[in-house]
Structure 1
């Protein structure tokens, strides 16, 4: 498959590595990687997910091509409940794969209907990424139309690049955190908003009304906030948030 790649493909990979290494804003490093995948493959969407399958939860970042927030909210949980085939595949296999190759009835599934409705795509390719035990990480790109051999070859070559860049970002964040407290640096804008309303004394139901979302969605945001801040209840969360300067 590598013989099908062009010289400029390798050049773009090198440019991506340099861009991420020189990038100081860790929060948008994934956006650089997503933009490269979107541009190089002519894709319409790109997401990066971390999934704790045993817990039935996870986190996801997405672009199509602009940053997605509400559309990917709760996406991992839905895919776990729906039994998306990529979840099982990513635990045992490493090669990039078209969803139609692991799901014969792809076009009659709920995740196909959601992918077409939300992202405008009719085909997706999953790129598994190495994670610690108990967690599955995957990059998922999609577009309207099929992916050819050259596309899969490009993603196969890009896979270790994405993996290395992910490790670089995670390690750099860890090192910065060890030197300067960086509590809540991984909070999404919506999670930060929910945390701010929580600090104002609003209940989950009141936050839901304020943001025009369901209480269930608010609780999912709170669960992620707890995990990211290393807490497990409202009181300890607000204490950590105040100590870290996240809320007044």
Structure 2
């Protein structure tokens, strides 16, 4: 893979960590995937589509989203055979194309391929699933016309899989965080938590760590939840303490609650200093 593409993936990762709006996380990824793969459009699949009524959103190379997709086209995109069947019956989460699953000649001459060419102007489909195998398919489906996906495209898809998974986790954390702080204790709408975090100089990833500190998770547990190293969690924690002017977990959580950065809740009991997994041995 060209070094410039690897550098771009790193740039996207950094940008994702500083994005406050979970709905804005996917656009830069869509643009980059479409650019590198020379594809016409892609869709992000968040859960099993079979039988659901969610609208299909099509991402275009300029980062815009088309929501007005005809019913016939939506059904073709939603079922996306043979990829959905392949991932539903296999634990393999390697990016593959439709022609790899059934054979190039078989795919080219198949009824499904013909329907996609007529309705979507799409000759080839690449599936880039998230590593999580709990759903039949979650990830993105990349549509390309003309020649098929190359080995370089597949190598890029494998490289970007961890970033897709990380952005998916980050989007879920941001949505949960916003939902948990959307209402003040009185039931009235409270201040935007993102504004409180920004006023305190906290980055979105530091805010994620802060919310998990409030749940009394250890640095090890936080690292697993966020997919980062324990050392990175400790560094984020140090930054949070410095920016909020605190020196321990309980005081930090109380300050953050007072500033409406995280919801007001009962603060977990402080672990005994020096105990394995406690605050002094992991998060300070």
* Post-superposition offset of 1:148: 1.1
What is residue 99 of structure 1 aligned with on the other side?
A: 98
Structure 1 residues 83 and 39: CA distance shift in structure 2, 3 A: closer
- Structure 1 or 2, whichever has the larger Rg, is 2
Task: Out of 26-35 and 70-79, give the one that drifted further.
Answer: 70-79
What is residue 154 of structure 1 aligned with on the other side?
A: 156
Greater strand proportion: 1
Whether 1:170 and 2:172 are equivalent positions in the alignment is yes
What is residue 69 of structure 1 aligned with on the other side?
A: 67
Assess if the C-alpha contact under 8 Å between 2:22 and 2:170 holds in 1: no
* Post-superposition offset of 1:107: 2.6
Q: Structure 2 unaligned segments of length 5 or more: list them.
A: 184-188, 190-284
Cα deviation, 1:200-241, whole Å, max 9, x if unaligned, reads xxxxxxxxxxxxxxxxxxxxxxxxxxxxxxxxxxxxxxxxxx
Assess if the C-alpha contact under 8 Å between 1:129 and 1:138 holds in 2: yes
Assess if the C-alpha contact under 8 Å between 1:97 and 1:125 holds in 2: yes
Cα deviation, 1:127-161, whole Å, max 9, x if unaligned, reads 11144735521311122221111111111111111
* Post-superposition offset of 1:12: 0.8
Partners in 2 of 1:136 and 1:52 — Cα distance?
6
Q: Structure 1 unaligned segments of length 5 or more: list them.
A: 183-248
Equivalenced residues, count: 176
Q: Within 5 Å, give how 1:56-205 maps onto structure 2.
A: 56-57=51-52, 59=54, 60-65=56-61, 66-71=64-69, 77-78=75-76, 84-91=81-88, 92=90, 93-104=92-103, 105-131=106-132, 133-144=134-145, 145-180=147-182
Cα deviation, 1:66-113, whole Å, max 9, x if unaligned, reads 312122757665566x67121122232200001101123323445423
In the superposition, the TM-score normalised over structure 1's length comes to: 0.61
SS in 1 for 2:45: strand
Assess if the C-alpha contact under 8 Å between 1:45 and 1:119 holds in 2: no
Assess if the C-alpha contact under 8 Å between 2:30 and 2:60 holds in 1: no
* Post-superposition offset of 1:166: 1.1
Partners in 2 of 1:75 and 1:170 — Cα distance?
28
Partners in 1 of 2:8 and 2:53 — Cα distance?
30
Partners in 2 of 1:83 and 1:120 — Cα distance?
14
What is residue 48 of structure 2 aligned with on the other side?
A: 52
